[in-house]
Structure 1
Amino acid sequence: MKIILRILLLAAWCAAEEPLFFVLENNHIRLTVEKATGAISSFFVKANQCELISEKRLQANFRICLPLPDYQANYLDGMRQKPVEVRQEDRTITVRFDGMSSAKGIFPIKLSCTITLQDDYVVFKARLINHHSQPISEFWFPRLGGWTQFGDRTARLATPNYTSMSRHTTSLFKNYPGSRGLGAEAAEWACTYPGMVMPWWDLYDEKSDLGLYLGYHDPVFRFSSWHTFLMPDHSGLPDAWLTDQTSGGLPVGLVFSHIRFPFIHSGEILDSGEFIIRVHQGDWHQGVQFYRDWFLRHFTLNHGDNWLRHKRAWFTSILYQPEDKIIADYQTYGRWCGEAAEYGISCYELIGWHRGGLERNYPDYQPEEKLGGRDGFRGLMKEIDARQGKCLAFINYNILDQNTDWYKKELFKYKQQDQFGQQPIWMGWGESTFLARSGMNVRYHVRGSITPDFEKLLADQFIERIQDGAHGFQIDKLCVGAALDFNPLNALKPDVALCQGLVQAVDRLYQKCRTVNPAVSMASEFSFDRLLPYFAVGYRGSGPRDISTFRFVFPEWTSCQHIARPQDFNGINYAVLSGQVICVEPECYQGSLKQPLYHDLANYIKEVERLRDELHSLIFYARYFDNQEGRITPVNPEAQNKLQYRMHGHFHNGQRALVVINTSAEPVQYAWAFTHQKVAQALLYQPFVPQRKIRIDELLEIKPYGLQILVERISR
């Protein structure tokens, strides 16, 4: 008996001595993972001595939503589940669950998660298997709770934007941007991808010059969300965070989650991509290079030989407006293109050329008889060819005009659907009457699903237009083309149907068009990175005075800067500043560039294009460093906001060019510097002025609404 007691005491002592957690640690990060739950209870960043999980009561691991017929909000909270295994092998911790429970019962769901520490980053992966009769709608993983700071509470977040460059402006730890909505358990703020143009966030601690990258790397393009709760709620004050004294004893902190929407049914599996949390020096400019490297390992991005990427200016016009008003026929438009060519423009976007005109009768893409019919369309293409020009025909892809008899009788079955078989209706644009322009009387469109029959209907027409001589397309509204799609005719999962499925459809269209003409190229109004391999130019990837984050991360791409006002010299300068296409649309898409009203603008475009032609590989098809690697300092500090600058660089030889613009009506003097290396001399280019050499100690003066380009002199 004494021997048995001793054995039992020894076993109890050994159990008491066994640690309750696993630790992963290297020179950058120390992670602690609880054995009881598989949750991360400590995420310590060594470079700035910051503990991310400082409010332990909020630690989290995962969450699953398994909607039941009588209870849609059936959440399975990971912290209430008991893992069947938690083990550590070298740099990886594996956590397995077999069976999940909620207040509604026990459910046959399996989950295996891995947490791997690799140098300066952590990798989260998961395999989720559903054996229940109902589909899993939401999977929240990784889930990290208890964040109160990064470095300190002043750290700010940057997100990848569609029409503006990323900046660290979002204050999660102080001026939290979200609020508590109906049904939410706390204040809530989230971003979706698509929605964001790339799948990452980046936090920046300025005091330590340290960033934290949070990115999802998955070759399969899925709809997902970056989500935060601020527990227990927004304070209602400018400082959104409650304190220990005002929180009523409840824990205060962020819970971060990455949410996917797999809708896997019984017997189906979700194998996730990799969610990465990486510590890096610098802000998002440095952190995002990690994503670029991953992207280029998986997708081809080569627009160097694409003629469209080297077209620096377009002329565009809408021929036929949706309220039956004809602005120009094919013959008149051809004349306008010839007039635009006098100012150095050789690429033309043709809008409203098809039956019914712009924003009408989609997806009928046959040439409009009132404008000259198919013969007139072919003749226009030949005329543009004869002057060595290129024409992009404006089209949509998965957009349907719900007002046509065709839609009501047949096409309705192709619309994208939510779980209730419906779709929010908001897409409608009018032009020719006040009722139409104000949105009170417009033809509303719906987003289409991607099904074999619908895809063929589109492809057959687009291939015909290439056969008719079109050099390519500008595909509009792809920025709204991606969403969860429950259309029963689409065989893909809802989270990939209009993400991966849409990209694959575009790929097939491209290949078919290039069997007719290998030089076909396309631009698009798109807003997510997976389409970058297909579109060298974005139609709306810029704001009036800015450009998408794409431009920095993937300088192989650029966007259009739209110019309609007859004295918009600032707009042209902004196009040069960011390396954008000048898309000139006189009279708001209704006239020729060659008219007295546009005389000054046309000649300015011609001169700017002369400069950009000479400096093409330095400021247009070139690397884009945003506001990095250079500096300008106005002599008068009050003029700081009047000047803007951006740095560009040659793709191959490393030479830099600094573009400076003055957005004010007053001249400004400034000092300048290149900061990537010591640059003592540069060449100064500006419109209508001969180039000259300048030295680093020379102050420059830029005229009102002026443009200057400083090109680094390099030894040959």
Structure 2
Amino acid sequence: MNYRLENDYIAVEFDPETGALVGLLNKQNDWQVIRQPKLAMGIRLTVPMPEHRNNRVLSERQSLSSYGQLGSNKVKLKWDQVEGDKSGVLAIKVELTVSLEADQVHFELEIDNQSPFIVEEAWAPCLGGLREQKGEAHLSSMSMTMCGGFREVSHGPSFPNQLGYWGTDHPSFLMTYPESSVLTPFILMTNGVNGIYLGQHDQAQNIVNFLHELKPGYGDSKHGRVMEEDEIDGIPAGYVVSAIRLPFIQPGESMTLAPMVIRLYEGTWHEGLKTYMDWRKTWHVHEPLPAWAEEIDCWMTLHINSPEGCCQNSYLELVDIAREAKERGVGAIQLIGWARGGQDGDEPFQDINPQLGTWEDLQSAIQQIEQLGVRIYLMCKFKWADRTTPEYKAEIEQHTMKDMYGDPVYFQGYAYQTITQQLGGGSRRTGAMLCHLSSDYRKLALRELQKLLDLGSSGLLYDELTSDERLLCFDPTHNHRYGENNVKGSTLLAEEIHKAAKAHNPEFLLAGEGSNDHLTQYYPINYVRSTDKWAGWEINHRAAWKFMDPAMKIATCLTGWDDREMVNQCMAYGYIINYEPYHFKGRLTDYPRTVEYGQQAQQLRNRLKEYIWHGTFQDTMGATVAGANPQQELVYSVFINSANGKRAVVLANQSLEVLEAQVTLANSEASFQLYRVGQDESESSEGYAVVQPRSLIVLIEA
């Protein structure tokens, strides 16, 4: 008989022989998550040996030593030793404490390694045999990305093989925190009706991998088709989703890993996200925006030089560009390529480029632009080094991240404008990742930061804060653990940059591209790209980050020549409009249609700013919209005025046809005042709205 732990919400069952998790029942709706218990898993480790790096401690080969009740809602499973498939028995003791807290299950793993080898991977919990309820839509796994929305991967009817068939035994895909597509340490598995939250609650930012496997494989490999059966020719079939940590526990060392949390919930992603939001409140502290930055809702991004030496604009030419932008509603300019080497050249050095002018020219231009009322943010990055710089060998290489073999962790760099760069060889500036855990490197970065601060801009924008999959450093001279997560060092660097910048100017603004959740505490503005299908992550952008953190300011780019839909998105989600003609290499006069509609939208936002700019963003929570044609692209959102508690509904018609809809507020029969982009007059409404193609309205609760 299985061991069983339960409360009013959840029942969890364990195999008495191996300790495998054979049952996970949502008692509120009778969903048995483990639909195929023959695929159930308990603990799994990877303990590399000489000549056998893939020495696996497989769940099914382990013998549970004891199962003890620690209270009405807590148990401890113990394995006094483990068996590797290449090593045989190993002197590694594992304890797994499982506790129920309302509708959540908490898993805490402790490993005592008395073997002669390093415990490299620790797998737990593992949901083996996971499936949606029979008759329901397939689940999808969702993770929050650097674009502020969700990466979504469907579990059916087809399933991706992201990791490549040559390197895995089954079709698989991996979501790794803290990479750019998984910037928060959890995933949601949901079909919009039922969902599973699986997350690591860990302020220390340790890496967690969410591995998804389809066992035994495809029914039809041509289409990547998933078999609906729970068994194929006598072989158990289904999904296995495992939480995998990389603790690198040394011989003679013990370690308790951060808790993993499972919550079973009903509803949309909003409900699943609340699990993380509740935990986040216990530690996340926002750095307040400077008062001047609160009102800026429109940027321009301008690239003036590339590593190929395009030298598009001199420093002194920037003043006319800024004057032109000011006339069109722009409050801030993000300046890219201003430093030596151009964009993504000569990193991490922040010297001026003599081809563009003198240091005095750039300082003077910044001063004149800010006197116009336009703030300058100088783009910078300190995460990787350009290996072509003359200083690399003598000054930089010692600070680079190292792999297990002692070599720098390289990447191919970025390509600009010429075909020889685009081809990946030739003139491309290849890079090496820098170890932010090295205090000596952080001193060098702060030295370079000071060069930027001395130019007198109002702020900086740190590019690519956490947008890379190169996470681990194995260099013992950097004074960190073997195989440590470099993003922990990024947080230390953020603290030091923040301290230096505020000492220089208390009103200095730090903005960043793709901040993870710890870094948002220091970078209160996040620069993203929220166009649909960006990086192949999502079909339709959802404002998940803004829902999670309504105080976060998010700037998104507009590159289209008649980009009304992106303007509408900015209005609906409370995003900063960021103009980027010619992929941020043009001027605002280059695309007048986009700018004209953007200005009209800005005027409406300013008119209703206590609702749709300073109000609290709720995404779609609190209102329903009925009557729209299912073929039309409809975007809507709710904001709450913090002063009077009344709601505003922004309704955007992203299609080419007139949209008719009925808007209803939850728990209210309120009437509305209706406002349209480009019109001064408003009108009363009972919630019925006609929205013109590619336009939007705002309904204010009366």
TM-score if structure 2 supplies the norm length? Answer: 0.90
Structure-2 residue corresponding to 1:618: 611
Structure-1 residue corresponding to 2:667: 677
Greater Rg by CA:
1
Structure-1 residue corresponding to 2:578: 583
Structure-2 residue corresponding to 1:82: 63
Q: Distance in 1 between matches of 2:135 and 2:487?
A: 37
Q: Which one-letter code corresponds to 1:328 in the other structure?
A: N
Secondary structure in 2 matching 1:551: helix
1:68 aligns to 2:49 (yes or no)? yes
Q: Distance in 2 between matches of 1:412 and 1:371?
A: 28
Q: Which one-letter code corresponds to 1:427 in the other structure?
A: G
Q: Which one-letter code corresponds to 1:160 in the other structure?
A: S
**Counterpart mapping for 1:244-643 below 5 A:** 247-301=232-286, 303=288, 307-308=292-293, 310-420=295-405, 421-423=407-409, 425-431=411-417, 433-436=418-421, 441-450=427-436, 451-481=438-468, 483-493=471-481, 496-543=484-531, 546=541, 549-593=544-588, 595=589, 597-633=590-626, 637=629, 640-643=631-634
Q: Which one-letter code corresponds to 1:681 in the other structure?
A: S
Out of 77, 87, 99, the position equivalent to 1:95 is 77
How far is 1:531 from its partner? 1.5
1:507–1:703 CA distance, 2 compared to 1 (3 A): same
Structure-2 residue corresponding to 1:650: 641
Secondary structure in 2 matching 1:478: coil
Cα pair 1:163 1:546 within 8 Å, conserved = no
Q: Distance in 1 between matches of 2:207 and 2:351?
A: 33
Cα pair 1:40 1:59 within 8 Å, conserved = yes
Out of 178, 188, 194, the position equivalent to 1:210 is 194
Alignment gaps of 5+ in structure 1: 1-19
Q: Distance in 1 between matches of 2:592 and 2:237?
A: 62
Out of 167, 179, 182, the position equivalent to 2:166 is 182
Cα pair 1:679 1:712 within 8 Å, conserved = no
Q: Which one-letter code corresponds to 1:117 in the other structure?
A: L
Secondary structure in 1 matching 2:451: helix
1:168–1:629 CA distance, 2 compared to 1 (3 A): farther
CA deviation vs aligned residue, 1:364-417 (integer Å, no higher than 9, x gap): 101223333222232223223323432111001212111222224442232223
Secondary structure in 1 matching 2:498: helix
1:227 aligns to 2:222 (yes or no)? no
1:119–1:571 CA distance, 2 compared to 1 (3 A): closer
TM-score if structure 1 supplies the norm length? Answer: 0.89
Q: Say which is worse superposed, 175-184 or 397-406, in terms of deviation.
A: 175-184
What RMSD over aligned residues (CA atoms) do the two structures have, in Å?
Answer: 2.7
1:233–1:598 CA distance, 2 compared to 1 (3 A): closer
**Counterpart mapping for 1:699-714 below 5 A:** 699-700=689-690, 702-713=691-702
1:162–1:306 CA distance, 2 compared to 1 (3 A): farther
Q: Which one-letter code corresponds to 1:369 in the other structure?
A: P
Secondary structure in 2 matching 1:645: strand
Cα pair 1:414 1:489 within 8 Å, conserved = no
Cα pair 1:42 1:53 within 8 Å, conserved = yes
Cα pair 1:162 1:542 within 8 Å, conserved = no
Secondary structure in 2 matching 1:297: coil
Secondary structure in 2 matching 1:555: coil
Q: Distance in 2 between matches of 1:400 and 1:624?
A: 39
CA deviation vs aligned residue, 1:305-327 (integer Å, no higher than 9, x gap): 56445421112212222222222
How far is 1:62 from its partner? 0.7
1:645–1:95 CA distance, 2 compared to 1 (3 A): same
Cα pair 2:634 2:653 within 8 Å, conserved = yes
Cα pair 1:157 1:168 within 8 Å, conserved = no
How far is 1:143 from its partner? 2.0
1:24–1:478 CA distance, 2 compared to 1 (3 A): same
Cα pair 2:675 2:683 within 8 Å, conserved = no
Q: Which one-letter code corresponds to 1:611 in the other structure?
A: L
How far is 1:240 from its partner? 0.9
Secondary structure in 2 matching 1:673: strand
CA deviation vs aligned residue, 1:524-554 (integer Å, no higher than 9, x gap): 1125222221222222252357355212211
Q: Say which is worse superposed, 492-501 or 137-146, in terms of deviation.
A: 492-501
Q: Say which is worse superposed, 31-40 or 225-234, in terms of deviation.
A: 31-40
1:295–1:679 CA distance, 2 compared to 1 (3 A): same
Secondary structure in 2 matching 1:458: helix
CA deviation vs aligned residue, 1:558-589 (integer Å, no higher than 9, x gap): 43221234432332222222221111134443
1:644–1:83 CA distance, 2 compared to 1 (3 A): closer
How far is 1:153 from its partner? 5.2
1:464–1:165 CA distance, 2 compared to 1 (3 A): closer
Secondary structure in 1 matching 2:567: helix
CA deviation vs aligned residue, 1:427-472 (integer Å, no higher than 9, x gap): 21213x3444565642223322222222111111213322331222
Cα pair 1:309 1:537 within 8 Å, conserved = no
1:125–1:617 CA distance, 2 compared to 1 (3 A): farther
Cα pair 2:651 2:698 within 8 Å, conserved = yes
Cα pair 1:541 1:547 within 8 Å, conserved = no
Q: Distance in 2 between matches of 1:132 and 1:610?
A: 68
Secondary structure in 2 matching 1:369: coil
Structure-1 residue corresponding to 2:537: none
CA deviation vs aligned residue, 1:231-261 (integer Å, no higher than 9, x gap): 222222664126367x231122222210001
Identity of aligned residues (%): 23
Q: Which one-letter code corresponds to 1:42 in the other structure?
A: G
How far is 1:699 from its partner? 4.1
Q: Distance in 1 between matches of 2:291 and 2:430?
A: 35
1:225–1:644 CA distance, 2 compared to 1 (3 A): same
Q: Which one-letter code corresponds to 1:194 in the other structure?
A: P
Secondary structure in 2 matching 1:689: coil
Cα pair 2:626 2:661 within 8 Å, conserved = yes
How far is 1:352 from its partner? 1.1
1:435–1:708 CA distance, 2 compared to 1 (3 A): farther
Q: Distance in 1 between matches of 2:149 and 2:462?
A: 25
CA deviation vs aligned residue, 1:312-366 (integer Å, no higher than 9, x gap): 1112212222222222222211221122112222211111111122221111101
Q: Distance in 1 between matches of 2:280 and 2:544?
A: 15
1:308–1:267 CA distance, 2 compared to 1 (3 A): farther
Q: Distance in 2 between matches of 1:661 and 1:690?
A: 18
Q: Which runs of 4+ in 1 moved over 6 A?
A: none
Q: Distance in 2 between matches of 1:546 and 1:387?
A: 35
How far is 1:507 from its partner? 1.6
How far is 1:643 from its partner? 3.5
